[in-house]
Each structure stands twice: as C-alpha cells, then as structure tokens.
Amino acid sequence: MFYQDLKELSTNLSQLFTLENKQPVFSDFLVVTRNKTFECHRAILHARSAYFRGLLRSQMKETTEGKVEIRDISSEVMKNILTYIYTGSLEITRDNAIEILISSQKLLLDQRVLDNISQFVVR
C-alpha cells in the first residue's frame, strides 16, 4: 500500500517557521529584509531554492555570519515566499502577485510556481 499525507507534512513544517509569538525551533540561519528578520533553517532553504542552495554552499560571508540581507524584497513578500518554501502553499492576491512573481524568479523557485503565478496575473 502507499500512504501519503502532504497536508500533515505541510502543517508540521510550517510549525518550524512560525512568525508570531512562539520561538522558531532549531533555527540556524537568518533571512533579513529591510524591516524584518526571519529565523530559518539551512537544510530547508537548501532543499527548496536554487538561490539558497548556491548561497549556502558558497562559503562566502553569509555562510560564516549565518545570515543574508536581501534588500530588494519586501518583508511581506519574503514572508509569503518563505512560507511557500516551508509548506508548499502560496497565498497570492491581486496586490502582491506581481511582486511575488518577480521575487520568486530572482530566488529561482520551481518553474511551475512561476508559471502558476504568471497565469494568475494574466487573469
């Protein structure tokens, strides 16, 4: 038999990346935007985005300091994108769609996400 419960997986992973109140668990890397800092996990970032993969294996300043400052993405959009990276779900609205599209292209997320956002934008 084959059992799969992606919803549960997604929920559990999202708990690693909680933004309000609670402390994130075992965080080992910070993603810093202009007005917000996100506490993240190298392993997950590495697994989910080609940008972060390159960054994390580069052994440049960011890997030694344990943080990256990304100035050209707003904290709202970064929150959305990181949520997607952790859970696989992405909330897109008319207001943030274009920005999310541009940012996720920069971070080289999966091509299918990009296609889906583009389609939404076109509608």
Partner 1 sequence: MSRKMILRVPKFQEPKRMEKSEAQRLWLLLKDAIVEVQHMNASTLSFEELYRSSYSLVIAKRGDILYTGLEEVNNHHTKNLLDKIAQAVDERFLIELNSQWQQYKLQQIMIHDILMYLDRMYVKEPQLKVFDLGMFKWKQNVLIHSQINDRLVRMLLGLIHMERNGEVIDGALMKSLIQMYVDVSLKEKETYKQEFEERFLLATSHFYKSESNLFITNNSCGAYLKKVEIRLIEEEARIKQYLDESTGPKLIKACEDELIANHMQTMIEMETGCRTMIQNDRFNELKLMYRLFQRVENGLVHLKNEFAGYVRNEGHKIVNQPENLKDPNALITSLIEIRNRFEKTLSQSFANNRDFINSVNTAFESFLNENDKLSESLALFIDKKLRGGFKDSNDQEIDVIMNKVILLFRFLSDKDVFKKFYEHYLAKRLLSGRSFSEDLERTMISKFKQECGNQFTSKMEGMFTDMRLSKDALDGFKNYLQTSVEMGKLPKIDMSVRVLTQGFWPTFPPHSCTLPPLLSQYCDLFTKYYCHAHTGRRIIWQTNIGTAEVTFRLPKKTHVLALSTYQMLIMLLFNDAEKLSLKQMAAGTSISFMDIQRSVKPLYSGKYKVLKRTPAVEKSKELSENDIFELNLNLKCKLHRIKFAATSQTDSEPERQHTRQRVDEDRKIEIDAAIVRIMKSRKALIHNDLIVECTKQLSSRFVPQTSMIKKRIENLIEREYLERFPDDRRRYRYLA
Q: Give the list of residues 6+ apart from residue 30 with CB closer than 8 angstroms, or none.
A: 37, 38, 39, 40, 66, 67, 68
Q: Can you tell me which of 70, 90, 92, 114 binds partner 1, judged by CB under 8 A?
A: 70
Q: How far apart are CA 109 and CA 83, in angstroms?
A: 13
Q: Can you tell me which of 58, 66, 89, 91 binds partner 1, judged by CB under 8 A?
A: 58
β-pair type (29-32, 37-40): antiparallel
Q: Can you tell me which of 10, 11, 28, 54 binds partner 1, judged by CB under 8 A?
A: 54
Should residue 44 be labelled a site residue for partner 1 when binding is judged by CB under 8 A?
Answer: no
Tokens of 7: 């919803």
Residue 47's φ and ψ, nearest 5 degrees, are -75, -25
Encoded one letter per residue, x for contact with partner 1 by CB under 8 A and - for no contact, window 101-120 reads -x---x-x---------xx-
Chain residues that interact with partner 1, rule: CB under 8 A = 50-51, 53-55, 57-64, 68-70, 72, 98-99, 102, 106, 108, 118-119, 121-122
